[in-house]
């Protein structure tokens, strides 16, 4: 089942999650903005885009939905696979706060872990580092994996965008939404690493 009941219903289908992801990525990937380095996106293994809702006082809870896509060796992108995120943190949030989170994955191992049928832990302990900012930023070391994590995280909240540390969030595949969208019993690996054209594009 979907982990949140607070999201706009139209965003709870894979098609809605894709529209949501495109909306979230629009500003950070705009060449006119100080967003995610182009080199990082060009050489990444995949991208996770999630809209989270954060609420609570003292102990905060987060949940949300989104998509993961893989970057193929020829530079094209895979079809999207639906994911959900759930976590706990410390702090105070008045009411419910929306945070858009982007994770740029730079290692095959991290990509396999996040795209599996089980669940994977994000955060520093999971190899996720604060993402560098600036479309022309020099991230050669980061992309090569020398002295850096296996993925880089960003967040957009209250009009502000930048690299951000992710706490103990857990991400998992939303198989029900994938099955509904692709009209067949598919795994995240089928969607992300299967041959191009092997699946129907969600309608």
The answer for 175, left when phi > 0, alpha when psi is -120 to 50, beta otherwise, is alpha
Dmax over CA atoms of the chain, in Å, equals 48
**Whole-angstrom Cα distance, residue 154 to residue 85?**
15
Q: Where are the domains of the chain?
A: 9-193
What number is the average pLDDT over the span 20-35? 84
**Whole-angstrom Cα distance, residue 53 to residue 85?**
10
What is the rounded average pLDDT for all residues in the chain? Answer: 75
CA within 13 Å, CB half, 34:
7
**Whole-angstrom Cα distance, residue 34 to residue 100?**
16
pTM of the entire structure? 0.78
Residue 89 has pLDDT above 80, yes or no: no
Residue 118: which H helix or E strand, with range? Answer: none
Residue 66 has pLDDT above 50, yes or no: yes
Phi–psi pair at 148, nearest 5 degrees: -140, 175
140-199 pLDDT tens trace: 444 544 444 688 888 887 777 787 777 667 888 999 999 889 888 888 999 998 854 455
124-134 pLDDT tens trace: 556 777 777 77
User: Helices in 13-136 by DSSP H: which ranges?
Assistant: 14-26, 38-42, 108-114
Residue 55 has pLDDT above 70, yes or no: no
- Helical axes 14-26 vs 175-182, angle rounded to 10°: 100
Residue 80 has pLDDT above 90, yes or no: yes
Predicted pLDDT of residue 135: 57
Residue 7 has pLDDT above 70, yes or no: no
Bridging pattern class, strands 119-121 and 46-70: unpaired
């Amino acid at each position: 089942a979907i982990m949140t009941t607070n999201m706009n219903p139209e965003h709870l289908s894979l098609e809605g999650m894709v529209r949501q992801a495109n909306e979230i990525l629009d500003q950070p990937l705009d060449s006119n903005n100080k967003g995610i380095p182009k080199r990082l996106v060009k050489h990444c293994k995949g991208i996770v885009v999630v809209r989270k809702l954060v609420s609570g006082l003292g102990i905060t809870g987060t949940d949300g939905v989104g998509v993961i896509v893989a970057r193929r060796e020829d530079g094209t992108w895979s079809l999207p696979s639906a994911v959900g995120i759930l976590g706990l943190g410390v702090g105070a949030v008045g009411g419910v706060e929306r945070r858009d989170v982007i994770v740029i994955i730079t290692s095959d191992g991290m990509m396999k872990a996040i795209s599996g049928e089980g669940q994977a832990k994000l955060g520093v302990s999971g190899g996720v580092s604060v993402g560098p900012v600036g479309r022309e930023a020099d991230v050669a070391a980061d992309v090569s994996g020398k002295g850096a994590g296996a993925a880089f995280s960003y967040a957009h909240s209250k009009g502000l965008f930048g690299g951000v540390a992710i706490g103990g969030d857990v991400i998992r595949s939303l198989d029900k939404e994938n099955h509904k969208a692709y009209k067949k019993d598919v795994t995240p690996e089928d969607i992300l690493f299967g041959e191009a054209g092997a699946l129907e594009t969600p309608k």
